[in-house]
Chain A
């Protein structure tokens, strides 16, 4: 090997990772083609009612609208940052709707769609990104844990929680969300080893959106991600992450197996982040426009709409009504965001401990006195 080649990284394309080959992947679970045709799969089948289908469509549209509005609000200076889910709506709605009421989700910071399915108010999520609270929805009431910004850490939380459920004899499971980049994190691997060793009722739901910020999947793994599960000793499934029905079916099955004592499953939802990693990122610096165009043809919402129209499950009135509802939601998010009050400076003392310590109380008092020493009153 010559000197130059020894210092140059040579990475072969990951089989199946390149977008153009997606339809040819034999191991990709798909129940709704990008053209909106219903497909059958030998292992995963699903029977959804017309109403469920319409609800899924509504979820997808509303969540996308929320996301688009939040991105605009960031561009207008109303949010410090926003992590967009654009393109990943089906993966999140499918996974969220697969959960039973007693299951608990452990999200990253992008699971707005899952938050939606758990009944978390969009404004509560937005307040975190506006920097006026610390993301304080009730994780017990919603069964939706707080957003975790540390990459992969939530997989340990989900595994530990699942082991607790196991010891309590509860018949519920946890759903740990992670991205493709997180699979390279130590926490994720540790979580999977624990989960496998104890057959913990946890499902690892990986949204492979092809990029860890700017790092492409080829730099994370030489094998398709779902195949990694075999190394840990539990099943791995690759599902079309832009197919809400397939995600719903696969996640339901995995959660059911977990509740049944059959241990963890790794789900690789093969999808694409249509927007930037966050509003601080410029994806045109590391992605080709042709790749984006390719994925536009696999839009997760268009295929559901096509299927609804073709089968007569929904017509123009329904679609218009959903659009109108999306407009209302966007307006509520806009006004709710700009009217969000700033928290008092002392809010940071409120939730450090369940019960405030004397030391902390003294600090708070000192801080309040300091604030009061400025002209024009408190804060």
Chain B
């Protein structure tokens, strides 16, 4: 037997950390020459063939095809012949000689690699020398009792003279100057998380994996502004990236900021009708990889959505509306004595606008009867409100909503919300709906393409109300703006009708006085 050499998976593409062995092009016992292709490897950048750095006989393939291997890991052992030391069992003793590929290069580097990533044991940073006379690094820069006190800077260029490490301590989080504003609040939250040792999760272990939650800079800023601790969130984006929605949902959720930010439209809205987002216990969030059985409301929702999506041809239209006047009306209305006991939410006005518009366009409040080949135009509006509850999505409805006054409608919506939040919605309240509103704005999102509640012909999504630059009376003003999205069943409602209906809802919200004309 000759000398055994191992070939470590190199970084073939500037900064890669692993690669998948697609297939081996050689087998154990094969004789290989230098640069003969050994295997095909696919990385994040390219699929490439790896040529052999050695001539010899293949003695072992260390991974099967289909395995993803970290850069720097030996993948094949080749007997290069010659009068080398007797082979050690594969594994420990097979370390190649210094200076050879895979061995330690001068300078403590692994010779196999030029790029990043694959530093293995022998390439680790050597420990700092003990510094004579200097106690363990402390956070206070105490004068060094060095036996040979030298003027500062005198040891520059003095060769091997030892001196205290330049960066002995981590920056002290607690001594940061406190400034105003959400930025500092967020920093403190981060610092707090770090100081807490923060680390039941492996994500916070320094040096292993990622210690910083993944999020784009604007999302980080949003989190700071809202006082959301990113380390406490599980990202829903690709690769676990924390998204804007995750942050706004967390801001609306039970772990809402310890610091009360200035009254803000978003939070105002979230408390309006959030049936139950806030009540969802965080423990209900499944852990990655968990398989959740489909049952109950989830099962019913799935069946209903599939039935709806694949029987009713959906069309969705969008409208952006300046709702400043509606928001003012809402404030004035809330101040009226007869509304004292009820909740006056933006949703209330959206519901009212929808009901008024539906009166002008009764066909949107209808159903397709497949068996009878008829369209059923409903005599009354049973207004459904999509609600997220601890049990899942339910759509209770307010019967005869079109015949209610505004205060009655407010009371009915309030009751519906309370009941849903408590999980006591009766089955009868969830059947017989004729048209639905889904208030996606409470989650801080702008709009969506809602799926019809089965049997209904229209559903309106109400987005977040935001302060936006808007052309108002020929000038750019900051106005309160929202987006409406209407999905309708094209078997029943044509584009013209759907558009007119949506436009009417929008007009009523942008100028509520229009209602007098309806």
Q: Which residues of A contact B (CB under 8 A)?
A: 68-69, 72, 74-81, 130-131, 276, 279-282, 284-285, 334, 338-339, 341-342, 361-362, 365-366, 368-370, 372-376, 379
Which residue from A77, A276, A376 sits with its C-beta under 8 Å from B101?
Answer: A77
B126 at the A/B interface (Cβ < 8 Å)? Answer: yes
Are B126 and A376 neighbours in the complex by a CB distance under 8 Å?
yes
A282 touching B48 in the complex, CB below 8 Å, given contacts A77-B113, A373-B129, A375-B127: yes
Are B114 and A374 neighbours in the complex by a CB distance under 8 Å?
no
Separation of A156 and B280 alpha carbons in the complex (Å): 64
Are B128 and A374 neighbours in the complex by a CB distance under 8 Å?
yes
Q: Which chain A residues border B128 with CB–CB below 8 Å? A: 373-375
Are B7 and A76 neighbours in the complex by a CB distance under 8 Å?
yes
Are A372 and B114 neighbours in the complex by a CB distance under 8 Å?
no
Separation of A151 and B7 alpha carbons in the complex (Å): 35
B11 at the A/B interface (Cβ < 8 Å)? Answer: yes
List 27 interface pairs A-B (beta carbons < 8 Å), by A numbering.
A69-B35, A72-B35, A75-B10, A75-B12, A75-B50, A77-B8, A77-B12, A78-B114, A80-B114, A81-B14, A280-B45, A281-B45, A282-B46, A284-B47, A338-B100, A338-B111, A341-B106, A362-B157, A365-B156, A368-B157, A369-B156, A369-B159, A372-B159, A374-B126, A374-B128, A375-B127, A375-B129
Q: Which chain B residues border A339 with CB–CB below 8 Å? A: 99
Are A379 and B107 neighbours in the complex by a CB distance under 8 Å?
yes
A365 touching B12 in the complex, CB below 8 Å, given contacts A75-B51, A78-B114: no
Are A75 and B106 neighbours in the complex by a CB distance under 8 Å?
no
Q: Which chain A residues border B11 with CB–CB below 8 Å? A: 77
B:251-294 near A, CB below 8 Å: none
B:101-127 near A, CB below 8 Å: 101, 105-109, 111-115, 125-127
Are A80 and B129 neighbours in the complex by a CB distance under 8 Å?
no
B155 at the A/B interface (Cβ < 8 Å)? Answer: yes
Which residue from A77, A374, A376 sits with its C-beta under 8 Å from B10?
Answer: A77
Are A77 and B126 neighbours in the complex by a CB distance under 8 Å?
no
Q: Which chain B residues border A285 with CB–CB below 8 Å? A: 46
Interface majority SS (helix, strand, loop, mixed), chain B: loop
Separation of A364 and B115 alpha carbons in the complex (Å): 24
Are A365 and B157 neighbours in the complex by a CB distance under 8 Å?
yes
Are A362 and B126 neighbours in the complex by a CB distance under 8 Å?
no
B:52-82 near A, CB below 8 Å: 52-53
Q: Which chain A residues border B184 with CB–CB below 8 Å? A: none
Are A72 and B51 neighbours in the complex by a CB distance under 8 Å?
yes
B473 CB, min distance to chain A CBs, angstroms: 30
Are B34 and A369 neighbours in the complex by a CB distance under 8 Å?
no
Are B47 and A282 neighbours in the complex by a CB distance under 8 Å?
yes
Q: How many residues of B contact A (CB 8 A)?
A: 47
Separation of A278 and B194 alpha carbons in the complex (Å): 41
A276 closest partner in B (C-beta): B46
B160 closest partner in A (C-beta): A372
A68 CB, min distance to chain B CBs, angstroms: 8
Which residue from B51, B106, B155, B165 sits with its C-beta under 8 Å from A76?
Answer: B51
A260 CB, min distance to chain B CBs, angstroms: 44
Separation of A130 and B105 alpha carbons in the complex (Å): 14
B161 at the A/B interface (Cβ < 8 Å)? Answer: yes
Are A280 and B51 neighbours in the complex by a CB distance under 8 Å?
no
Are A373 and B163 neighbours in the complex by a CB distance under 8 Å?
yes
B51 closest partner in A (C-beta): A72
